[in-house]
Amino acid sequence: MRYVSTRGRSPPASFAHAISTGYAPDGGLYVPECLPTVGLETLRKWSALKFQDLCVEIMALWVGEDIPAADLRGVVAASFAEFSAEEVVPLAGLRGAYVAELFHGPTLAFKDFGQQVLCKLVDYFARKSGKRVTLVVSTTGDTGPAALRAAAGSTNLRIVCFYPTGQVSRLQERQMTTVEAPNVRVISFEGGGDDMDAPIKAINTDAAFRDKHGLCSINSINWGRVAVQTVHWFFSYFRACEASGRGVGTRMHFVVPTGAMGNVAAGFIAREMGLPANLTCGVNANDIVHRCVARGQFHRAGMHRTISQAINIQVPYNMERVLYYLGGRDPTLTRGWMHIMDTTGKLTLRGPHLRALRAALNAESVTDGETAAVMRGCYEGHGYLCDPHTAVAISAGEKLGLLDGAPQAGGYPVVVLATAHAAKFEGAVRRSLGDGFWEGEFLRVHMPESARELEQKPEVGGAPAGKLFRVGEDWVAQLRTVVETGFGVGQSRL
């Protein structure tokens, strides 16, 4: 399996190279040179597998000959050793739909799937090559903790993690600032959730600097993240077939909370491979995906703060992968589109390309009020506690008539991807269910032990006053300095 850039001006790369760098040299995103086709017979075979075994089967398609089968199986086993649910992705019934709970990993969010496997694969290749890799990641709240948990303590990896100050929950912040390891740096910055993307891309596309320091971006621009996440789409589908009594091959609706579109890109790729799925994106007030599907306007807009802050994304970079496939895998067309977006912030799709996008994706935007109402309704009416991002997806499905057996679903089963545990968003839960929700018995029942234990850990990291990246400063220069000098012996944080 070889990987090519969506922009067509980089040589084909191996899986190992693609995931160990992140961005292609021309600034594009790596995608498979050709997608494997999964027929009905293979789907039926896969449907009987446990999650870890399915992960090995699917990852073997992406890895090719870069990793021996036994080594790949070892990486997968280690990646899911800390997941608390035996089946990894349990399903819950809610309002005529199935909720695929992707939050039973060590940091209570679906990002654990991609980061655990990706970081262990990058570590594997770094160890084999004898070259240390510097991971650089920016987070809106869940990616960072998952990456830090996966990489902390590795002698082959260093990791620098950025998060927007004041825009992550207390638990998310503590999941980052309580990590104590010599290979870890955690730094906050002013601005919106994806404002750090351009500086990270700048240093990753500087070939000399990237190669000197072994830079690798592990946000969902990294193909490894998308590749791993295809697994939970297939697995959730199989479990929903089983729960609904439908045969494998039945079409299903999937509704997913959408930010940078890494999860959506994985679902899109899975569908291109042969997963019989309709994809719906639930977005908050940062609704560029909805505007693009509805009006063809992939236009950057100002960032809105919401209670579903992990999807406060102004420009989802994985749209580039979707557009590449919708444009007939034409890198010249994709490169032109991305040049327009990079230089003007306003790409408008028309005609056949807009029709292709609408055939591939549906989208609906949800207000904070609607999100809170769904959280309240799920708990009070059904005894199900959901986080605000899952609530965005549920609300989107509700507004589009996909829940409660509505006729718009066409009789197809509906799967909602639950992307985080509600405990990660205490404030949003209080806003929806009352200020006293986390007191007494509710705390014991609904707050996982791992989250409660964080309250007892000292905050050894995070950027103290004067150290955070401030608006108006040269973030590219500061980022270079961190990579070059920020890992002194005995210093675990800036």
User: What amino acid positions are annotated as catalytic residues?
Assistant: 111
Amino acid at 16: A
Given a contact cutoff of 8 angstroms between Cβ atoms, the answer to whether 16 and 62 are in contact is no
> What is the C-alpha separation between 224 and 231, in angstroms, rounded?
12
